[in-house]
Structures are given as structure tokens and as C-alpha cells.
Structure 1
Amino acid sequence: MKKFLILVLINFIFLEVKTQEILFPVNPNNQNYLSGNLGELRGSHFHMGIDIKTFGRINEPIYAADDGFVERIFISGTGYGKAIYLKHNNGTKTVYAHLNKFNSELDKYSTSYQYRNKLFKVNLFPGSRFFYKKGDLIGYSGNSGSSGGPHLHFELRDSLDNVYDPLRYGFKEIKDNRNPIIDKISLKTLNINSRINNGFGLKKIDLSKSINLRKNNFIQAKGEIGISVLAYDKLDGFENKVGIKKIRLYVDDTLRVENEINLLSYSETKSVKRYIEYDIFQRNREQFVKLYQDDGNKLNFHQDRDKGVIRIGKNETKKIKVVVFDSFENNNSFTFYLKSNEVSKNRIENFNLFKNEYYNIDNTLVIRSKLKNRDNIEYEENSHLRSIDYSFKDENFKYYLFDLRKNSPSKIILDDSKIDLNFLDPVFIGKKYKIEEDDFSINFSKSSLFDTLYFEFLKDESYKFKNSHPIKNNIVVTLKTKKANDQNKTHIYAINDDDISFVGGKWDENEISFSTNSLLNYKILKDTIKPEIQPKTINQNIISFKIDDKMSGINSYEASINNEWILFEYDNKNKMIISKKKNPNIPFKGKFVLIVSDNAENKSIYNINI
């Protein structure tokens, strides 16, 4: 009943906004083009608006979409960069992000505040001081913050800061007559007894390659099966890939699942990790949208029957149809059949999740072996030696499946090798729990997990965690050392092959703790190298530097002339700082000092007389 009322409220909001006129904020009354849309999957989050192209240019005029007060002004070197939030008479809001600069009065107001408080990053709430009519100039487009190129990020929000789709207004400036594209379909076995083409795990249908599949589209399957889709859209005029608005799954011509993104809350972005096939994303960086509902997926727009799980019994055939829609109701579909008693002649590709001849997916451990002289392998569990027969095989391997809810092997013994496993006790959802080991501890809250967590830990020169499920809310990890460290310069770093990224952490004697929503590989490292300062432009009108730190990263910078503080705007992605005068008519002249500090308290100082 609660979910139904929420949907009614959402539909009421959409009915209200569609009857109103708002102005397209860039180049209105002319055709415009998008590079991103609402709900598009961006790594670990949803894209929360539309990205409007400015053709590689900055300083395109940005206009107020409707009458309203400036509720908020935000300035940062990351995220939305320079952004304006307008609050309108009906309680809704519009957001204009990645700006290069504000109009003259907003620029004067924000710059004055920055100089008074000696801050670059600010979050201002000017009350009702600045009111603009629809069509008034409020700023100029840019590439500030974490933008990947010049554009305007534009959002429509309700009074609770939920974001809804701007394209529901039917802007005449945006045209789309192209059908979306289904690139790939994924099929997943959802329990240990399910099979696809007599195999287990994740399989894919690559529709760009599988021409014959459209003619002979039967796939062998039995048990509980989950389907996911990798799809995208292209609008008129450009080849940018953008997200899909709506996905439907039909089973035997009955609608079983509908995902339609009309509204998103910022609290839902963390659920992207549960909305996609995360195992595929970790290996291939491809984001397949699940058309079944995993435990822990509470997204408001996911509507299904029986959680979208497809059950194939003995001698059964199911007709499967996937339909994708864009924001303009253009659509595309793919139909295939799952059949229990027929071995498919189609070459359905496997997603290779194996590393060191095993992997775990959900609550199942999968081992593979090239053993030819026997059908079973031995494994060690609780200091006892046991054996298990293979569950299925192909032309290259025999595969052995363990239900981690029942078995927790510590070692797999093959003819010429062994696999050491390091699984810890499972962590169950909805409970406060602490893992305490010799080398680390982890504190879980009741809301930390989407589902039961099975993971391994190995300590060598680093602290190595491997987890089977993504983590919903932050956990507190403490790494333990056996020696004293320089605690100001020594911190935790995440390790990915040869790359390191600064995590941080807080020391307590010989233990260092940090919050995270990912269990990765970590090292405790000392940073004694000073940040780099490279002058780019120095004259009486403008001063700019490139500042960088290869290890712990830039923590702060401060500049002055004749001991008078100077505002420098920070562009994190390009590692640049650029001066901004309080009074453009007064030249930079005198003794200039720039101090740059990293996160390990290393400092570099640059001096020059201008």
C-alpha cells in the first residue's frame, strides 16, 4: 500500500509539472543536444539530471528556467564545480552546474564572501536576496568541478530535493527519432541447481555478434534464472550514448518487470551497485541492468512480479521478451526462448570470473579443474578431508560447486596443485557485527549490507579483501600493525595492480581505522615527498600554477601578495589553480608566496617578486 501511494504521488507531481512551461536554459528556441540523461548509470551512481552540450565552448549564456530565488550557490574544485540552485514559486527547484562563472551580481556576492572568509570552496544560502524572472541571465556555461568537458548539467527537483526527468516537459529544443539499442543480454543462474546451456554462473548474448540467434533463438536453461540487459540510446544529431528511460520484461507475453526512471532521490544512488550485475562491472566495467530484484534492492522505480525471477521446470519453454524505451517512447525489443530439454546450438558466451581457478558469486563457490582421471576432488574443511563430485563439465574443465551457506572449505586439493581459501565467517544482514582478527577488525552496522556477505582475507605485504557482494553503507575497518609508525605521514592506500589511491585513516597507537563501502586491497604507506608546484602564468593580471602530489594528494593551498590573501580557484581534474582578483583594477604586485600541503603534512613553498 505504501509503495502504491508513493507511485500515486510521483504521478501527481509529473502531471503537475507537465502542465507548466519552463524555459530551456541554454540556447532556447533552437535545437540543442544532450550528452547525458536522468538515471544514466555513471560508475557507482545514477546521473541526476541532463547534460546539455555547449559544443566544446565555455561561457555560453545560461538563463533561469522559471521565476525564482537563488536558494544556494556552491563552489568547489570537484563535483558540480560552480553551481546555482533556484527555488521557484511552486516549491520546485532547478540546478545549473559546472558553470564557468556567475552573472555579475552573484559573482560579486560570492567572491566577496570568499575573500572575507579566505576560502575557495563555499556553500552559500543567500535567502531571498536574489530573484530572477524566467529568461534572466544567471551565469555562463563551463567545465568546472568533475565535468569531463564543457556542458551544462541541469536538474529539476521537488521541494524534498528528489530529482525528476526534465525531458518530461517535452522541450522542443531536444529531438530524438532514433530507437534505443540493446547491446547485450545477460543470463544468470540464481541458485546452485540452476543451469544455462548446462553451465553455471553468468552468460551473455552479444546481439552485435549473434546474427544467427535471431533466427534460432532457443537457449537451454533450467531452474531459477535472472536476466539483465546492457542497452543505450542515441539522440538525433550526435553519437553520444545516453541511458535508457524504461525497460520491460515479458515472460510468455505477460509483463513481469518494468523499470521506469521518472524520479530519483540522492539516497538511492548507493543502490546502483545492487541494480546492476556487479560481478560483471568489477571485471569488465559494463553495467548490465538487472530485470530481477535482488535482496536489498529498494529502488522506487523497480516494479516486478515474483521479483522478476524466471523459473524453468522440466520440459518447460518460456518466451522471453525484453523491450527498452527512451524518453521519447522510441523503443526496441529482443525475443528469445528458454527451453529446459534442449541443448542450445547457439554459442552463448561465458563471463570469465575466474581468478586462480575459482570465484564466488552470491553464496556459491565455483572451482574448475582439468582433472581427467577422476570425477571428484578433495577439499579440507574444519581440519577434515572430504570429497565432492563435479557438478557439470565442458570440453576444457570440470566444475565443482559449493554452497557457502553449508560448506566453507579452507583448501582445495587437485592432482598437481592446491588452492588455499581464506573465507571468514559470513556476515548477515540486519545485525550489528564485529569481526576481530589478528591483522584487522571490521564493524558492521545493521544497515551496512544489501545481503549476506561472504568474503576472504589474506595478509602478505598488503591487506587483501575479496568480497562477493557490494556494501551498502559504510563499515569501519581497522588495520593492525606490529610496529610504530610516523602517524602524520603514514596512511592507508587502496591498491589496484600498480596504482595506489589515498584512503587516509585515523591512528590509535599501532592501529589505523577508516570508513569505507568497499573491501579492497590496502597497504599502509609513508609519504615523505613534497607536493609539486609548477608555474604556468605569472603577471600582474593573472597567476596560475599546476599543483600535484603523486602519493597522498593535495590537502590545501594558500597564496598571498605582501601578506594579503589571494583567491585561487581550484580545478582538480587538471590540477590547476588560477587567481581571481577581488578588485580587477588592482594589479598583482609585490612579494608573492604560495604554500601547498599534501595529506601527509609535506609542504612546498614557491616565492617570487611580481
Structure 2
Amino acid sequence: MKVQKLIILLLFSALFLSSTAQVFTPKNYPQGYFIWPVIAKVAIVANFGELRPNHYHMGLDCRTDQRENITVVAAADGYIAKVKIEPSGFGRCIYINHPNGLTTLYAHLNDFYPALENYITQQQYQLKSWKVFLDIPPTLFVVKKGQFIAYSGTTGGSQGPHTHFEIRDTKTDKVLNPLLFGLPINDNIPPDILRLAVYDRNTSTYEQSAKFYPIKKVNGIYVTTPANIIFNSDKVSFAITAYDRYTGSTNQNGIYEAILYDQEKAVAGFQMDSISYDETRYINAHIDYKLRSTGGPFVQHLSRLPGYTKGIYKEVTGDGVINLDNDVTHAIKIEVKDTKGNTSFLKFGIKKAFGNVHAYKANPIAVYQPNEFQPGFINIFENDQVSLHMPEISLYDSIRFKYNEIIPARGYPIYQIHNTTVPLQTKFTLKIKNTSTSNPDKMVMHRFANGKDDYAKATNETDWYKASFREFGNFQLLEDLEPPVIRAVAFKEGMKLSQLSRLVFVISDNTEELVDFNAMLDGQWLRFSNDKGRTFIYKMDEHCPPGKHELKIN
């Protein structure tokens, strides 16, 4: 018995002495073409591909010394092609097209440089809209590498002062990893691997909880405890928690690449090289969403879920799901890299348990189960009170659909549509029957779960009220009879404004469904900025000259 153990361990070790395969094609992006876009110490808060709620982080968050109004410069020669201004997302944002077919993006900005700021203001007044997304003629704002283009800020969805920087393919708009372009980020630290999760892939990932195994580092290699895992299934997949750090930084940033090897052969992996915005929500299939949504850590799958049709995965000799054969210990290696090539390895063996295990059984006759929803199919649930229609690209893995109806003490019935631990790629349509309202044009559908509320206008279709959502939860019809509330900050009607530099209004609404904001001064549209939330600000300028004025807001 001792001899047998020795042979297994020697074989297991030998499998990892061979060189690793090249799974992903090396990138040939121009090096040194772009300079650092902010006049501050070169450092980042977040990198490309980092894991965020419902999306990958699509660029670099460049530090600005925890301050606003740091100079932002053009990363290379080109021309300003677009400007976007919105209350969420990027906030105030500039796109620069470059001669090499790439576009750089700079977001969460404050004021643009004067010529551009004046042009944008003119366009906003012409369009009578503060929120704009403008295409700009190529010859209008030509810029040189290092030229001042804006001040940094914290506009839009920013949680603190920084500049978000992206590099895109101009033709496809696909976002490329900026760290592959030779930007001056110093990194000689390999990624850290924190945990390993193992899944029984005879069952939906949403119908189970992963089995976690402790990890420790031995002689520079991560290993599991125990070194050889006995698992109660003949079909498994793996996921990891890992992060990368840069030299001189304590930030836990996202990893660049992970590859799964079985018996020395590369099976599958993922790489954060490029991501399109139309596929960024697929992050919810890349992570263990159920675990994360219940307060757990980010865990990244090394295999593609059935409904993950696009994205970052590459399959080499398989899809990342390992079939465990009788009496065979599979030597597994997981290789994790950063963009500088620093590499960490996690190694372990895994074997199917003896006796009764969860095994896959082929069913020659597919039998439809009314409560079983599958990815890749249109899924429908209907009764006398609700009608649910889910497009075929909604689900990433199968679910046993759950439904319940609650009659509250007050208000219309509440319908529990599955649960929030299952993510969706696209919106579903929900119809709720209601024949008792006297205000059919005021109906709103309210979704609530885990302290979060969403509202959508409910369209009347012969006593059925229809709305679309992208998350499961509890749903209830409401009658929205209350108009938004407008509150002036630090001034009131009849007040002399000569001592004020700006006017500020805060808008609130009982359903959070604020469609539009318009201000008219003496019958003329007046530009209020809306850089954050529901605060609207007008900075005094020539559009409000001295004298008595009438301001109307709707």
C-alpha cells in the first residue's frame, strides 16, 4: 500500500514538470503608442476585466490623488469624435479617435477644455437637453498627444475621484485591455489564488452549493487540503477566487487569464483580453452568481455554463467539465496569469468516490417538465393571474421554476417569480391581471427583493398590465397617483439671487420613475446639469441676466 501511494505521488508530480501549452494567441498591440492619461502618479484603482455587479470593469480606473480637477490629457494624437454626458454611467465623457484604428475614452470628467466646453454648451441649448451623446466632425477638435482635454472628476456612476480610461477598436467598438499596450504599470507580483470550488455538473449550478477546499502555498505552488479530492460525482467543474496586485499597491485587482489542465492537457480557460459592452452582462454566468448574491465572494468558473453563448472562454480539448472515470485520479492544474506574464499554479488530484455517486444517465426520450426552465429555449409560465415570457437567451443554466401568490392586508396581490439567486441575461415580459383599478393609465409594476425596489410603467392590454424586468423577485401592481416633488436648495420664491452662484433643485418621486426634467426661464429653455442622482444644478451665466425672472420646472 505504501508503494502504491508513492507511485501515485511521483506520477502526479511528474505531470506538472512539463511545460504548459500556449492556449491563447499572443497579442500584437502597439507598445508605447499611448501615454498615461492623467497628470498624476501612475497608479490604478481598478483594472480591465475586474468583477463588478452585472458587468466586467471595461478599462482602467486611473488614480487622481483622491482629488478632482486633475489635468486629463489625450493619450495619443487624434481628434475628439464623440462626447457623452449622462447622470449615471460615464457621466461626462470624451472619445478620441486615433490614426491607428483605435479609440480612447476618458470618463467621469468635470469641465472639458474651454473650446470644447463652449461647443457642447451650444449643442445642449440647441437640442434643449443637458443629456447628450454627440458625434463631432473630425476636423473640429484635433488633439495632440499630451494635450489638455478636461479636468478629472467624479461625475456619473463614479464612487470617488478618478478617471476611467478605455482603449477600443474604432470599427467594432470592442474594448481592449489597456494593460496590453505597454502603459507604465509596474507589476512583478504573481496573482494570488484564495479558494477552489468544485461543482457537480450533473446538476444545475443554481440547484446546488459548491464544495470548497482549503488552499495553501507550498514551495511557491498552491495546493489543496487534502491534496487528492474524493468527489461524489462522475462529472465535475471548477471555479476559483483569485486576484492580482501591482508592485507597491495593496489593491486586489482582477486576474487576466486562467487555464485548466487535466492530465497535462489544456482543457479550457478564459482571458480578459477584449470584451464588448453587449456581452459584459455575461459576467453573471462567469461567476457563481448564487454565492455572490447571498453575500459570498466572487468565484470565477473555469467552464462555460450552457447559456453563456459569447465571451471570454476558449475551449481546447473540452468545455471545462471533467468526466471522472473509475479508479482514475485526475491530475488537475489551474494556471493563473496577469498581463505581465507573472504566473501562479494551483495543483490537486481529484477522483470519483466509490459506491453510489451522482452519475449522468442518458434519457433517450426527452420529457418536458412544466416547472423546469432550460437555457436556449423560450420559457413560459401562465395561469389566470400572471403570464411570464422569457426569451431563449435569458437563462445561463437550468432552473426548477418557483411561483407563489401572496394576498397582502393592503394593496394588490404580490406574485413571487422564482428567486433572486438566479441571474438573467435579458429582460422577460410579465403580465398581471387586474380588473379593479379605476386608473388604468396610472398603473406601475413594482419589483422588490432584498431591500431593492424597481419600477416600470405597466401597459394596459385589456385588463392585463405588462412590463419588462431583468431580475426575478416579488411583483405587485401599484397606482401611481403622486407627482414628483421638487425641492429648492438654499433659496426660495421671491429671493434675490445676486449673491448666489448657482441654483440647485432636488427631485424625489414615490416610484423613482423620473422620466424628464425641464426648466424654462421666461419661456426659454435653461440648462441644468444632472451629474449625480436627482440633483439638478444651474450655474449662473449670461442666460440669466440681472432682473426679475420667472422660472418654471416640469
The normalised TM-score by structure 2 is 0.82
Please tell me whether the aligned partners of residues 55 and 281 of structure 2 are also in contact (alpha carbons under 8 angstroms): yes
User: Kindly tell me: are residues 504 and 177 of structure 1, through their superposed partners in 2, closer, same or farther at Cα, counting changes over 3 Å?
Assistant: farther
> What RMSD over aligned residues (CA atoms) do the two structures have, in Å?
3.3
Please tell me whether the aligned partners of residues 215 and 222 of structure 2 are also in contact (alpha carbons under 8 angstroms): no
Match of 2:212 among 196, 200, 204: 204
Deviation of the 1:474 alpha carbon? 2.8
- In structure 2, the partner of 1:88 is 98
Instruction: Please state if 1:243 is matched with 2:264.
Output: no
Please tell me whether the aligned partners of residues 193 and 223 of structure 1 are also in contact (alpha carbons under 8 angstroms): no
**SS of residue in 2 equivalent to 1:175:** coil
Deviation of the 1:224 alpha carbon? 0.6
Query: Which amino acid counterpart does residue 551 of structure 2 have in structure 1?
Result: V
Please tell me whether the aligned partners of residues 86 and 93 of structure 1 are also in contact (alpha carbons under 8 angstroms): yes
Q: Provide Cα deviations, 1:511-542, integer angstroms capped at 9, x if missing partner.
A: 21122333322111233444343433454421
Deviation of the 1:425 alpha carbon? 4.0
Deviation of the 1:193 alpha carbon? 12
Deviation of the 1:98 alpha carbon? 0.8
- In structure 1, the partner of 2:308 is 297
**SS of residue in 2 equivalent to 1:306:** coil
- In structure 2, the partner of 1:464 is 416
Deviation of the 1:151 alpha carbon? 0.8
Please tell me whether the aligned partners of residues 495 and 521 of structure 1 are also in contact (alpha carbons under 8 angstroms): yes
- In structure 2, the partner of 1:371 is none
Q: Provide Cα deviations, 1:387-436, integer angstroms capped at 9, x if missing partner.
A: xxx989xxxxxxxxxx9x9899xxxxxxxxxxxxxx84444555556543
- In structure 2, the partner of 1:368 is none
Q: Provide Cα deviations, 1:224-276, integer angstroms capped at 9, x if missing partner.
A: 11101111122234333221111122223332222111111122113222222
Matches within 5 A, 1:268-417: 268-284=279-295, 286-304=297-315, 305-341=317-353
Match of 2:444 among 491, 513, 528: 491
Higher relative contact order structure (alpha carbons within 8 Å, sequence separation ≥ 6): 2
Distance 2:441 2:87 in 1: 25
User: Kindly tell me: are residues 470 and 200 of structure 1, through their superposed partners in 2, closer, same or farther at Cα, counting changes over 3 Å?
Assistant: closer
Please tell me whether the aligned partners of residues 258 and 337 of structure 2 are also in contact (alpha carbons under 8 angstroms): yes
Please tell me whether the aligned partners of residues 320 and 336 of structure 1 are also in contact (alpha carbons under 8 angstroms): yes
**SS of residue in 2 equivalent to 1:567:** coil
Deviation of the 1:507 alpha carbon? 2.1
Please tell me whether the aligned partners of residues 189 and 201 of structure 1 are also in contact (alpha carbons under 8 angstroms): no
Match of 2:267 among 253, 256, 259: 256
Match of 2:51 among 33, 36, 41: 41
Please tell me whether the aligned partners of residues 50 and 166 of structure 1 are also in contact (alpha carbons under 8 angstroms): yes
Match of 1:186 among 177, 183, 197: 197
Q: Provide Cα deviations, 1:101-157, integer angstroms capped at 9, x if missing partner.
A: 111111101111112222110111121221111111111111111111111111111
Query: Which amino acid counterpart does residue 293 of structure 2 have in structure 1?
Result: Q
- In structure 2, the partner of 1:220 is 230
**SS of residue in 2 equivalent to 1:284:** coil
**SS of residue in 2 equivalent to 1:167:** helix
Please tell me whether the aligned partners of residues 454 and 469 of structure 1 are also in contact (alpha carbons under 8 angstroms): no
Query: Which amino acid counterpart does residue 136 of structure 2 have in structure 1?
Result: P
Please tell me whether the aligned partners of residues 115 and 582 of structure 1 are also in contact (alpha carbons under 8 angstroms): no
71-80 or 212-221, which moves further after superposition? 212-221
Q: Provide Cα deviations, 1:317-343, integer angstroms capped at 9, x if missing partner.
A: 122222222222223232222233589
Distance 1:498 1:481 in 2: 26
Please tell me whether the aligned partners of residues 431 and 445 of structure 1 are also in contact (alpha carbons under 8 angstroms): yes
Match of 1:571 among 522, 526, 531: 531
Distance 2:249 2:439 in 1: 53
Instruction: Please state if 1:583 is matched with 2:536.
Output: no
Distance 1:11 1:188 in 2: 29
User: Kindly tell me: are residues 142 and 285 of structure 1, through their superposed partners in 2, closer, same or farther at Cα, counting changes over 3 Å?
Assistant: farther
**SS of residue in 1 equivalent to 2:518:** strand
505-514 or 218-227, which moves further after superposition? 505-514
268-277 or 67-76, which moves further after superposition? 268-277
- In structure 2, the partner of 1:74 is 84
Deviation of the 1:570 alpha carbon? 0.9
Query: Which amino acid counterpart does residue 82 of structure 1 have in structure 2?
Result: R
Query: Which amino acid counterpart does residue 404 of structure 2 have in structure 1?
Result: L
User: Kindly tell me: are residues 554 and 446 of structure 1, through their superposed partners in 2, closer, same or farther at Cα, counting changes over 3 Å?
Assistant: closer
Please tell me whether the aligned partners of residues 80 and 136 of structure 2 are also in contact (alpha carbons under 8 angstroms): yes
Query: Which amino acid counterpart does residue 576 of structure 1 have in structure 2?
Result: T
Match of 1:177 among 188, 191, 212: 188
Distance 2:165 2:501 in 1: 33
Distance 1:581 1:323 in 2: 58
Deviation of the 1:450 alpha carbon? 4.0
Please tell me whether the aligned partners of residues 566 and 581 of structure 1 are also in contact (alpha carbons under 8 angstroms): no
Deviation of the 1:594 alpha carbon? 5.1
Deviation of the 1:21 alpha carbon? 1.6
Match of 2:385 among 422, 429, 439: 439
Hey, which of these two has a bigger chunk of strand by percent? 1
Please tell me whether the aligned partners of residues 561 and 589 of structure 1 are also in contact (alpha carbons under 8 angstroms): no
Distance 2:252 2:550 in 1: 47
User: Kindly tell me: are residues 589 and 95 of structure 1, through their superposed partners in 2, closer, same or farther at Cα, counting changes over 3 Å?
Assistant: farther
Distance 1:240 1:498 in 2: 29
- In structure 2, the partner of 1:521 is 474
Please tell me whether the aligned partners of residues 31 and 175 of structure 1 are also in contact (alpha carbons under 8 angstroms): no
- In structure 1, the partner of 2:12 is none
- In structure 2, the partner of 1:396 is none
Please tell me whether the aligned partners of residues 484 and 510 of structure 1 are also in contact (alpha carbons under 8 angstroms): no
**SS of residue in 1 equivalent to 2:305:** coil
- In structure 2, the partner of 1:100 is 110
Distance 1:340 1:434 in 2: 37
Q: Provide Cα deviations, 1:178-197, integer angstroms capped at 9, x if missing partner.
A: 33222221111111599xxx
- In structure 2, the partner of 1:543 is 503
Distance 1:391 1:456 in 2: 27
- In structure 1, the partner of 2:410 is none
Matches within 5 A, 1:547-566: 547-566=507-526
Task: Give structure 1 stretches of 5+ with no counterpart.
Answer: 1-7, 344-389, 393-402, 409-422, 597-610
Q: Across the two proteins, how many residue pairs are aligned to each other? A: 506
- In structure 2, the partner of 1:414 is none
Percent of aligned positions that are identical:
26
Please tell me whether the aligned partners of residues 34 and 235 of structure 1 are also in contact (alpha carbons under 8 angstroms): no
Deviation of the 1:441 alpha carbon? 1.6
Deviation of the 1:297 alpha carbon? 2.1
User: Kindly tell me: are residues 434 and 254 of structure 1, through their superposed partners in 2, closer, same or farther at Cα, counting changes over 3 Å?
Assistant: closer
Task: Give structure 2 stretches of 5+ with no counterpart.
Answer: 1-21, 407-412, 492-496
Distance 2:166 2:448 in 1: 35
User: Kindly tell me: are residues 170 and 31 of structure 1, through their superposed partners in 2, closer, same or farther at Cα, counting changes over 3 Å?
Assistant: farther
Please tell me whether the aligned partners of residues 245 and 325 of structure 1 are also in contact (alpha carbons under 8 angstroms): yes
93-102 or 178-187, which moves further after superposition? 178-187
- In structure 2, the partner of 1:595 is 553
Distance 2:433 2:150 in 1: 50
**SS of residue in 2 equivalent to 1:269:** helix
- In structure 2, the partner of 1:164 is 176
Query: Which amino acid counterpart does residue 526 of structure 2 have in structure 1?
Result: I
Please tell me whether the aligned partners of residues 533 and 547 of structure 1 are also in contact (alpha carbons under 8 angstroms): yes
Distance 2:318 2:476 in 1: 44
Please tell me whether the aligned partners of residues 112 and 582 of structure 1 are also in contact (alpha carbons under 8 angstroms): no
- In structure 1, the partner of 2:35 is 23
- In structure 1, the partner of 2:128 is 118
Q: Provide Cα deviations, 1:536-562, integer angstroms capped at 9, x if missing partner.
A: 345442112332234333322222333
Query: Which amino acid counterpart does residue 417 of structure 2 have in structure 1?
Result: F
**SS of residue in 1 equivalent to 2:294:** helix
User: Kindly tell me: are residues 434 and 248 of structure 1, through their superposed partners in 2, closer, same or farther at Cα, counting changes over 3 Å?
Assistant: closer
